[in-house]
Amino acid sequence: MALRDISKTSRHYRIIESIFVSMCNSKLFNDIAVQDENDWIVNHQSDEQTFNDWCKSYSVVKSTKSRICIQPIGDFSGPGQKLLSWLQSFCSAFYFGVQVAVLPPVSASKIGCKCRINPETRRCQLRATDIIDHLKQTRKPHALCTVAVTMIDLYPKESWNFVFGLASLTYGVGVFSFARYTDTFYRTPPAKESTENYMCSDITAKLLWRACKVMTHEIGHMFGIKHCVYHNCAMNGSNHLAESDRRAASLCPICLRKLQEALKFDLADRYGALVKFCEGSLTDSTTPLSEFADYGEWLKKALSFLESKQYKSQVGKRPR
């Protein structure tokens, strides 16, 4: 089974495992929708990572590191500064109990990152491997992981057209781009677009929704969580934007169990923090949150489910 058998001697352990099993059997989580033969799941249905598999491979569970670092690449002044603040708030709720720090932005030229103009889109692109090398050299010793974010398109090597992101799980670093998540990316670019004059445009609700989902997905890999094949889940793989948009923002019970084991958070408190983000109480009044409405309602249903299982009285305040 994907979750561990409920057989450990600790009563507390048996109770919390039973909660996750009940979540799997609830109506909270849907099956993965397949709409195209090019969908990621079509060719990866057997790529399981059970909870036991994860326990054997994940090495940071007992780590004393307690911070996620977000490294902006490029110009994030103006609207971009707000985007970073909103991403920080969402990430803090999603990875509940972990401090999330946004580092000062750095330019591509300052880190010696090679760039090119993509012959098809005519947009600037940064070589992702150069950014990964920079992150390896500058990663903070107290960081669980460091992820770079940029509004500039990426490519991994000359023979590739583009890549959404790239990571080194060994070093706990990664980089991903929001460029192709904007509505303006495929429009005609400026005549002399460069990494030095590229600025973050106005942040729409759709861009913020996509950015939050891809950021938490990629950071999930830093915790050793592989792509999910069990339910519609934040950790599902995707081969194209439409498939990424169908991906849920929530973690399924199997992936949530892995993260909860790593961070030891209270499930109800974590869901409560995410509800607060969706309702705007963790950010400012200008936050475009219309795309988060359905997710907020789902989170409330998840909280009601935990209440029906008397989660707080049975699990919430007891030591692990």
| Domain range annotation of the chain | 32-295
Q: How many Cβ atoms sit within 10 Å of the Cβ of residue 12?
A: 13
- Residue pair 234/163 in contact by the 8 Å Cβ criterion: no
Predicted confidence band at 187 (pLDDT cuts at 50, 70, 90)? confident
Percentage above 70 pLDDT, the chain:
89
In terms of pLDDT, which residue wins out, 30 or 6? 30
Amino acid, res. 251 = L
pLDDT at 46 over 80: no
Q: Is the pLDDT of residue 271 over 80?
A: yes
Identify the residue whose tokens are 């507390």.
12
Q: Is the pLDDT of residue 142 over 50?
A: yes
Residue 201 has pLDDT above 80, yes or no: no
Is residue 59 packed enough to be buried (19+ CB in 10 Å), middle (13-18) or exposed (0-12)? exposed
Angle value at C-alpha 208, between 207 and 214, nearest 5 degrees: 85
Question: Which amino acid does the sequence have at 189?
Answer: P
218 counts as catalytic? yes
Residue 167 three-state SS: strand
Measure the CA–CA gap between 181 and 167, rounded to whole angstroms.
19
* Crossing angle of the two packed helices 267-279 and 293-308, in degrees rounded to 10: 150
Residue of 17, 158, 193, 218 with catalytic role: 218
Average pLDDT over residues 311-317: 74
Phi-psi category of 224—alpha, beta or left, where left has phi over 0 and alpha has psi -120 to 50? left
Give me 6's structure tokens: 């409920």
Task: Please report the pLDDT score of residue 61 as a whole number.
Answer: 44
pLDDT at 177: 92
CA distance 93 to 212: 11
Instruction: Please state the rounded mean pLDDT for residues 147-160.
Output: 93
- In the predicted model, what is the mean pLDDT of residues 161-176? 88
Rounded to two decimals, the pTM is: 0.90
Q: What is the topology classification, in CATH, of domain 32-295?
A: Collagenase (Catalytic Domain) (3.40.390)
At residue 126, φ and ψ (nearest 5 deg) are: -105, 145
How do residues 224-261 score in pLDDT, each as one tens digit? 899 999 999 999 988 788 888 889 999 999 999 999 99
